[in-house]
Structure 1
Amino acid sequence: MKAFSMLVLLTAAAACQADVESGPKAGEKVGEVKVTVVVGEKEGKEIDFAAERKDEPTVYLFVNAEKFGRPAFRFLKKLDEKIGDAADKAEVVAVWVGDAAKSKEYLERAKGSLKFGKTALTVFDGVGPNGWGINADAHVTAVVVVKGKVVKSFAFVSLNEKDEEAVTAELTKAIKK
């Protein structure tokens, strides 16, 4: 009986973790994303990527710095490789949320091995920008944006490189509309 009770508790805990919601709702206009660029074209500058990217297809990734690891890295790497297939001007803006100073230090140390072609690596001090509804329980929140509006938000509590397929499929579908 104890084993059955433990199994029920573990199943319930897994189900609760899988139901995390994070990010703005589909159809919402994107708000300000003022971040500091650590790796990318605008390195060292604080910019608002929503204003910078305007109508261009963009996937914003809000990476929980405390929960970042190899699976999340593989997801980012695969997304960076595939995003250009959706549209030439499509890009990824990866925002490390949490302690910006620690995240900046980490990204600066790791930038030699984090070779991305279409991804800016940035930091934000806190859970996420106002109005974005980023849930601290999500390891990564992916927000697909086309023409300045949210297409879909994905909240991942665990992920791997295969999760890139759902994100790029939503981006491709929205671009074709």
Structure 2
Amino acid sequence: MKAYYICLGWLMAGLAMAEDIPSGPEVGKAAPGLEVSDLAGAHKGKKVDYVKVRKGEPTIYVLLGDDGWNRPTARYLRMLDDSITKQNAGAYLVVVRLTEDKERAAMVLPRAHAALRLTSTAFTLYPGAATGPDDWSINDRAFVTTVVCVKGKVAATFADQSLDEARAPAIFNALKKAMK
């Protein structure tokens, strides 16, 4: 009987961890502006609003807080980049680092971009608060928020407290669905 309650406790804990976390702009609405410093990407060395620059082209934004910057997330980013490069002509991945330690991030991000050998991805740094832009509604419980935008509108949002490359197929399904 004791084992039953232990298993039930683990099951309940797992369900609590799997709860949906709302994070990101509202689906169906126009993507809000996102001015960032491009550290490694198409506009390297410039401050740019990627939502304006992409002009409605399919774009996946990945907003990473300090807790989301780790090896499993790097594998996730690599898989997204590989898939965009191979399958989705015109799509682009914009990784937005949200942190208080901007100096360190500015040093690390270009090296990480080069080490991962990303070709369809920009590594950027948000210059404001580590909570991200207010109109992007980033939930601080989500270590990683992924936002799929097509034709200037938010098509899907995904919020994770931990993730790896297994999450990437859901992102591409959302991208393909939105591009139809």
TM-score (norm 2): 0.87
Across the two proteins, how many residue pairs are aligned to each other? 176
Counterpart contact for 1:75–1:159, Cα < 8 Å: yes
Q: Secondary structure at the match of 1:31?
A: coil
Unaligned runs of 5+ in 2: none
Partner in structure 2 of residue 133 of structure 1: 137
Question: Would the alpha carbon gap of residues 128 and 86 (structure 1) be closer, same or farther in structure 2, given more than 3 Å must change?
Answer: farther
Counterpart contact for 2:61–2:96, Cα < 8 Å: yes
Q: Secondary structure at the match of 2:84?
A: helix
State how 1:18-167 maps to structure 2 within 5 Å. 18-19=18-19, 20-99=21-100, 100-124=102-126, 125=128, 126-167=130-171
Question: Would the alpha carbon gap of residues 67 and 174 (structure 1) be closer, same or farther in structure 2, given more than 3 Å must change?
Answer: closer
Q: In the TM superposition, what is the alpha-carbon distance from 1:3 to its structure 2 partner? A: 6.9
Question: Would the alpha carbon gap of residues 102 and 18 (structure 1) be closer, same or farther in structure 2, given more than 3 Å must change?
Answer: farther
Counterpart contact for 2:143–2:160, Cα < 8 Å: yes
Q: In the TM superposition, what is the alpha-carbon distance from 1:84 to its structure 2 partner? A: 3.5
Counterpart contact for 2:60–2:147, Cα < 8 Å: yes
Identity %: 35
Deviations 1:57-112 (CA, angstroms, capped at 9, x unpaired): 00000011333111100000000000245531100000011223232222134343
TM-score (norm 1): 0.89
Unaligned runs of 5+ in 1: none
Counterpart contact for 1:22–1:138, Cα < 8 Å: yes
